[in-house]
């Protein structure tokens, strides 16, 4: 699918509106999810001395942002849905930037790590190369990007009010490598289950220069 600029903005607004209207339910449904495997995958690949400067990209109501802050890191959240951004500030006590994926304003070479847990699949496919280049530029040289997305057969769809794009690893790797990243590892979640019961693809990438 290719969207004209107005349709693209409407699509993003609908997706964010869905999360804004269901912020409390989203918090209750995700607050106890165990993503320690993903947090560890990001942190163990960062090569500088802690504390790290981390961007929680699409931080939602602030569950993981709070974890990074409690571990002593300099973590900032980024969230497009206003209600979720407000919840993230309240739950974490940290700084949260309200920005949508079509209007990112990120400092260059600032972050040691970017944690994009269940967020990049909401980036419209036609915009993904640009967004990945922006994330690459926001990392320090040697910085690390973690992503986790529902996997699929490279299709995109609007499910209810939410847009999603669902990639297999080979296609996802092509996007990341084209944006200048080098793969560090990838795995499927939940751990320990047969592949057909692992709907999530997690991957870790480094900005080399």
**In which element (H, E) is residue 137 found?**
helix 128-138
d(CA 114, CA 133): 13
Instruction: Please determine, for residue 178, whether its predicted confidence score (pLDDT) is greater than 90.
Output: yes
The rounded mean pLDDT for the chain is 96
Predicted local distance difference test score (pLDDT) of residue 29:
87
Predicted local distance difference test score (pLDDT) of residue 94:
97
CA angle, residues 64, 191, 52, in degrees to nearest 5: 30
* Stretch 71-92: mean pLDDT: 97
What are the respective helix, strand and coil percentages of the chain, to the nearest 5? 40, 30, 30
Predicted local distance difference test score (pLDDT) of residue 27:
81
Instruction: Please determine, for residue 186, whether its predicted confidence score (pLDDT) is greater than 90.
Output: yes
Q: In what order do the strands lie in the sheet with 139-150?
A: 95-98, 74-79, 53-57, 111-117, 139-150, 200-207, 181-189
Confidence band, pLDDT 50/70/90 cuts, at residue 32: confident
DSSP assignments along 51-86, one per residue: SPEEEEET-TTSHHHHHHHHTT-EEEEEESSHHHHH
Q: Which numeric CATH code is attached to 5-207?
A: 3.40.50.150
Predicted local distance difference test score (pLDDT) of residue 166:
98
Instruction: Please determine, for residue 160, whether its predicted confidence score (pLDDT) is greater than 90.
Output: no
d(CA 31, CA 45): 25
* Stretch 132-159: mean pLDDT: 97
Predicted local distance difference test score (pLDDT) of residue 1:
78
Instruction: Kindly report whether the global pTM for this prediction surpasses the value 0.75.
Output: yes
Predicted local distance difference test score (pLDDT) of residue 70:
98
Predicted local distance difference test score (pLDDT) of residue 179:
98
Instruction: Please determine, for residue 97, whether its predicted confidence score (pLDDT) is greater than 90.
Output: yes
Instruction: Please determine, for residue 127, whether its predicted confidence score (pLDDT) is greater than 90.
Output: yes
User: What does the DSSP 8-state code read for residue 59?
Assistant: -
Residue recorded with tokens 């993903």? 38
Predicted local distance difference test score (pLDDT) of residue 114:
99
Residue recorded with tokens 């592949």? 195
Instruction: Please determine, for residue 209, whether its predicted confidence score (pLDDT) is greater than 90.
Output: no
Residue recorded with tokens 């070479």? 109
Predicted local distance difference test score (pLDDT) of residue 182:
98
Q: Which of 119, 89, 91, 92 is nearest to 104 (CA)?
A: 119
Instruction: Please determine, for residue 17, whether its predicted confidence score (pLDDT) is greater than 90.
Output: yes
């Amino acid at each position: 699918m290719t969207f004209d600029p107005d349709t693209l903005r409407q699509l993003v607004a609908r997706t964010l509106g869905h999360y804004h209207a269901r912020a409390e339910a989203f918090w209750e449904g995700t607050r106890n999810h165990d993503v320690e495997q993903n947090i560890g995958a990001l942190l163990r690949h960062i090569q500088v001395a802690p504390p790290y400067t981390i961007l929680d990209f699409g931080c939602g109501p602030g569950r993981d942002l709070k974890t990074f802050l409690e571990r002593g890191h300099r973590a900032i959240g980024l969230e497009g849905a206003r209600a979720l951004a407000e919840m993230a500030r309240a739950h974490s006590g940290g700084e949260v930037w309200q920005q949508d994926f079509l209007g990112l304003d990120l400092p260059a070479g600032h972050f040691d790590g970017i944690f994009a847990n269940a967020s990049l699949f909401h980036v419209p496919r036609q915009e993904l190369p640009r967004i990945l280049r922006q994330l690459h530029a926001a990392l320090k040289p040697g910085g690390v990007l973690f992503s986790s997305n529902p996997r699929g057969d490279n299709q995109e769809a609007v499910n209810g009010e939410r847009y999603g794009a669902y990639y297999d690893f080979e296609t996802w790797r092509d996007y990341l490598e084209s944006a200048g990243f080098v793969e560090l590892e990838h795995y499927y979640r939940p751990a320990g289950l047969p592949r057909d019961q692992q709907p999530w693809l997690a991957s870790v990438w480094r900005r080399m220069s």
